[in-house]
Amino acid sequence: MNASVELVEAQIWASGLNVEERNRAARGMTVRVYERGSYICHRGDRLNAWTGVVTGLVKMSSISHSGKPMTFAGLGHGGWFGEGSVLKDEPRQYDIVALRETRLAMMNRPTFMWLYENSVAFNHFLLRQLNERLGQFIATVEHDRMLAPKARVARNLSWLFNPVLYPKQERSVEITQDELALLSGVSRALTNRALAELQQEGLLLIEHGCIRVTDVAKLMRYED
DNA sequence: TCATTAAATTGTT
DNA sequence: AACAATTTAATGA
C-alpha cells in the first residue's frame, strides 16, 4: 500500500519539505509489517529502499566469522536507516531484525534519489543524520573500553529515542532486558542490575517488557 | 468474566 | 548458564 501524506508529515525529515516534495515522498513509500523476530534483510541483500521505523523496534547486527552474534545498533520509533546503502547502491552490510512487531515505511530508491537531488531540506536532514551516526559510532568505540556496564546500558538505551521527535519528558520503549543487553554488549545479569540502579537514581522506571525513561538527557551523558 | 495453563520476562546466584 | 519467581497471553468453561 502507498504511504499517506500524513505519515510523511509525521517524520522529522519532512518538516522542511514543500508540498510537492511531500507528495512525491508519499507516492514513493510503502508500509510493511514485520513480525517479531523476522528478518527485514540479511547481510548481503540488496534492499534498495530507505527505511523508517513507524512503530516497533529494530536491531542491526551481524554474525562474526567465529559465529558470535554482534549487535551494533537499535532503532526505535522515528528512526531511519539505510541511506548509506541506497546512496551507494550497495548491498547491506548487516542483518536487520525486528525485535517487536514492527511497522516499517520504505522509500524506493528513485524517490530517495529525487529528494536527494532536489530538496535542500532533505539534504540538511541527511547530513545531520550521518553526523549523529558518526558521533554515536565513535562514542561506542570509546565506551567499549572506558565505561562501566551501567553507563553503557544507559547510553544505549538513550539512543533508542529520537530526541527531535519526542519533545515530552516521558518516553518508553518496549524492549526486554535481554534485548537491551544484546544492544549494550553487556550480560543480561549486569543489565538487570544496571537498570535497577538507574531506577534508584530516578532516571527510568522498569516495567515488564518495557522501560519508561524519565530523564533521557542524563542517560545520554551518563558516566560513572 | 473467571480460572487454568503455557510462554515470556525478570531477578538472582 | 541455570534456576525460581513473576507477569502476560491464550484458552476454554
- Say how many C-beta atoms besides its own lie within 10 A of residue A215's C-beta: 16
C-beta of residue A63 within 8 angstroms of C-beta of residue A88:
no
pLDDT(A163) > 80: no
Mean pLDDT of A121-145: 88
CA of residue A71 to C1' of nucleotide B2, angstroms? 43
Angle among Cα A223, A96, A203 to the nearest 5 degrees reads: 25
In tens, the pLDDT along A10-25 reads: 999 999 999 999 999 9
Query: Grid coordinates representing A105?
Result: 515505511
Total-model pTM? 0.87
**A139-154 tens-digit pLDDT:** 888 877 777 899 999 9
Burial of A168 (C-beta count, 10 Å sphere; 0-12/13-18/19+): exposed
Contact A31, A103 (CB under 8 A): yes
Q: Has residue A177 got a pLDDT over 90?
A: yes
Residues 174-203 of A with CB under 7 A from strand C: 187-189
